Amino acid sequence: MNGTALIYRAGPDLPAPETFTFIAAPSLDFLQKAVGGYIERVPLFNRILIDRKVTYCVVYCNEESKLKRQPVNRNATRLWDYALRHLSHPDGTPQFPTGLLKPSGEVSDMLVGDIVVLYGDDEFMEAV
């Protein structure tokens, strides 16, 4: 079992993610510390580009980050938008062709606070 956690910190300076490698699924304690509280899975955020290859992932945020008015996480929001734009129906048509943008051009949602992205081999992904 091999996996990786990328922690994207919120804030205006867009830092590179912190990277952690695992040979077992990360603990709940690790995930809660990574996002600063109780975890919530980010809906439909299930793929990320790693080394120019689409990789399946699981993403968690702090379930209270918006209530606590955490800063916008621009990196994670861009990655979520990418995942949504590349999500397709069984017939191959895009499910969310505009990603997080409404037809009016407004942003429909965004990620705030710190985010953890988990990806790895099949065994790791089944465990997370």
Distance in angstroms (rounded) separating the CA atoms of residues 84 and 89: 12
Q: Any idea where the domains of the chain sit in the sequence?
A: 3-127
Q: Are 127 and 58 in contact (CB under 8 A)?
A: no
Report pLDDT for 91. Answer: 66
Q: How far apart are CA 87 and CA 42, in angstroms?
A: 14
pLDDT more than 90, % of the chain? 64
Distance of CA 114 to the CA centre of its chain: 10
pLDDT value for 15: 74
pLDDT at residue 107 in the model: 76
Is pLDDT of 55 > 80? Answer: yes
> To which residue do tokens 């299930």 refer?
46
Express as a percent the part of the chain with pLDDT over 70.
91
pLDDT tens-digit series, residues 62-108: 999 999 999 999 899 989 988 888 877 666 666 676 677 777 777 77
Q: Average the pLDDT over 97-123 and give the result.
A: 85
**For residue 90, which amino acid is it?**
P
Helices and strands, number each (H, E), in the chain: 3, 7
Q: Decide if 8 contacts 73 (C-beta within 8 A).
A: yes
